[in-house]
Amino acid sequence: VIQPNSMHILSHKITTTKDAITAQAGLLAPLQLMVSLGLTERINQHLPTPESNRGFAPSLYVQTMMLMLHAGGECLEDVRHLREDGALLGMLDIKQFPTARALGDWLHRIGNKPQILASLIPVNQVFLQAALGGCKAVTLDIDACEIVANKKHAQWTYKGNKGYMPMVGHIAETDQVVAYDFREGNVPPNKDNLDFIKYCEQALPSGCSLKAVRIDAAGYQKSIIQYCHGKGLDFAIRAPISPTIKQWISERKEPDWETIHDDQGRPTLQSACSTSHCIGDHQEPFRLIIQRHPKSHQAELALDQEEAGTDDSYTVNGYMYRAIATAREGGSAKDIIDWYNQRGETSENRIKELKLDFNGDRLPCSDFKANALYFGICTLAYNLLALMRQLAPAELKMHRVKAIRWSVYQLAGKVVNSGRRLLLKVSEKRVALFERLLKLFTEYRPPPTQT
């Protein structure tokens, strides 16, 4: 315990300086990668340009919001921290960042233009192509995410909150958002999912195709399974426990259940068995993996009673049952379960990053279309981080942006004009990692991207 008399104020004196000092010198790293990717030209090529010569180019609006989100901004007003940093402006060779009001006006004005969200697709393909490299076929994970927003015209979600319910598609191989469908809160998660899968396919870079789809129970639809069968796509979809499946479970004997072992070969409490199944009048069968796991001690007090559960789970006789529909004929039940469960990392956790780390759940506008555009810019900022992590040294590859803000972005520096060059002076202890990143991003040459 620190006693009051053991504390003392250090002797100090505060003075001012006219030196150009910034606390955010590390933002040069993401901006340098944007430059190497040719992002400015790409944005200006596909987004509407200002009607007068005095207006800002669309690239300045988009990249300003991306930098603000990388720096930890939580609302448009936080752009003032960039605007007031004269040393940062000089270092980035930017005359001025737009004001918060200008950003909001731009979102409203551009967000209501026809097909504006489609204009973000070729911009996003820059990040996808760079991260994919030579990968020609990818796995798509899609999931709906609730955004609670107390906006005047926001609709009530099925969870009882006012807000929005965008559908988000991720590429499992790169952890990046390939496309999104910004939806009203009252749109059910299972609506138009096949159309969204096709939309994600179209949003892939040229030369890259879809090889597999993973979805939760909202994707268990005849049209989706027919489409996957017709195109030869692999799939793993959480299947609701229908009366037919319940009857099949009730007929299983104990020897029918195969114990699931962990990666070290040790038996777990989970077991599984497989069967062939069809959906509706679609006659082509697929494999159905039934998972079984004992309930907790409290649930086992009523072993002879069927307990209520969600549509995708079924609890009876002390066990919880869940099912996965898959096109994979080979492989063990454990292989299928592990493959399906990977979407928890590549989709669900990535959506959490998008919402929590890049403020995808803090929408700044009252207008639906303006918020849809802002959400798209949040996905661009997130995809830039995903690419940065792929290119970065090993110690940064698994970091979330919060850790990168501490270790890279929040770097105090002094900007000195030396002849025709600007020098950035930073702490000797922090310079090594920063220089490595800048060298990697400066020398990076992305593969050519086609729309």
- pLDDT (tens digit, 9 = 90+) per residue, 178-190? 999 999 999 999 9
Confidence (pLDDT) at 300: 42
State yes or no: pLDDT of 372 exceeds 90: yes
Cβ–Cβ under 8 Å, residues 237 and 214: yes
Task: Judge whether 93 and 421 are in contact, CB under 8 Å.
Answer: no
> Could you tell me the pLDDT band of residue 306, with boundaries at 50, 70 and 90?
very low
What's the pLDDT at 450?
A: 57
Nearest CA-CA partner of 136 in 207, 204, 197: 207
Token pair 């096709």 is found at 198
Has residue 417 got a pLDDT over 90?
A: no
User: Mean pLDDT throughout 395-407?
Assistant: 91
418 backbone dihedrals φ, ψ, rounded to 5° = -115, 95
For residue 5, pLDDT over 70 is answered with no
- Of 25, 16, 13, the closest CA to residue 416 belongs to 25
pLDDT of 99 > 60? The answer is: yes
Give the HSE-up count for residue 243: Cα atoms under 13 Å, Cβ half-sphere.
0
pLDDT number for residue 309:
42
Q: Are 288 and 274 in contact (CB under 8 A)?
A: yes
Rounded Cα distance between 255 and 323, Å, is 19
Residue 20 has pLDDT above 90, yes or no: no
pLDDT of residue 91 exceeding 90: no
Q: What would the mean pLDDT of 24-49 be, rounded to a whole number?
A: 94
**Residue 299 CB burial class (10 angstroms; 0-12, 13-18, ≥19):** middle
State pTM to two decimals.
0.91
Q: How confident is the model at residue 2 (pLDDT cuts 50, 70, 90)?
A: low
Q: How many residues does the chain have?
A: 451
pLDDT at 301 over 50: no
Residue 102 pLDDT level (bands cut at 50, 70, 90): very high
Banded pLDDT at 7 (limits 50, 70, 90):
low
Q: Are 34 and 63 in contact (CB under 8 A)?
A: yes
Please answer whether residues 24 and 71 qualify as being in contact, where contact means their C-beta atoms are separated by less than 8 angstroms.
Answer: yes
> What confidence tens digit (pLDDT) does each residue in 221-275 have?
999 999 999 999 999 999 999 999 999 999 999 999 999 999 899 999 999 999 9
The whole-number pLDDT of residue 292 equals 93
SS (H, E, C) the chain: CCCHHHCCCCCCCCCCCCCEEECCHHHHHHHHHHHHHCHHHHHHHHCCCCCCCCCCCHHHHHHHHHHHHHHCCCCHHHHHHHHCCHHHHHHHCCCCCCCHHHHHHHHHHHHCCCCHHHHHHHHHHHHHHHHHCCCCEEEEEEEECCEECCCCCCEECCCCCEEECCEEEEECCCCEEEEEECCECCCCCCCCHHHHHHHHHHHCCCCCEEEEEEECHHHCCHHHHHHHHHHCCEEEEEECCCHHHHHHHHCCCHHHCEEEECCCCCEEEEEEEEEEEEECCEEEEEEEEEEEEECCCCHHHHCCCEECCCCCCEEECCEEEEEEEECCCCCCHHHHHHHHHCHHHHHHHHHHHHHHCCCCCCCCCCCHHHHHHHHHHHHHHHHHHHHHHHHCCHHHCCCCHHHHHHHHHCCCEEEEEECCEEEEEECCCCHHHHHHHHHHHHHCCCCCCCC
Q: Quick one: pLDDT at residue 252?
A: 93
pLDDT at 95: 82
pLDDT computed for residue 302 by the predictor: 38
The residue with greater pLDDT, 355 or 95, is 355
pLDDT of 140-174, one tens digit each? 999 999 999 988 889 999 999 999 999 999 999 99
Strand partners, 261: 267
Strand partners, 424: 415
| Cα–Cα distance, 247 to 242 (Å, whole number) | 9
Percentage with pLDDT > 70 across the chain: 94
Under a CB-based contact definition with an 8 Å cutoff, are residues 328 and 338 in contact? no
Give the pLDDT confidence of 189-232 residue by residue, as tens digits: 999 999 999 999 999 999 999 999 999 999 999 999 999 999 99
**Does pLDDT of 60 surpass 70?**
yes
**Alpha carbons 141 and 210: distance in angstroms, whole number:** 11
Please report, as a single letter, which amino acid is at residue 177.
V
55/233: higher pLDDT: 233
How confident is the prediction for the chain on average, in pLDDT? 90
240 CB burial (10 A radius; 0-12, 13-18, 19+): middle
Model confidence pLDDT, tens digit, residues 288-300? 999 999 986 544 4
- Look up residue 106 and give its two tokens: 């731009």
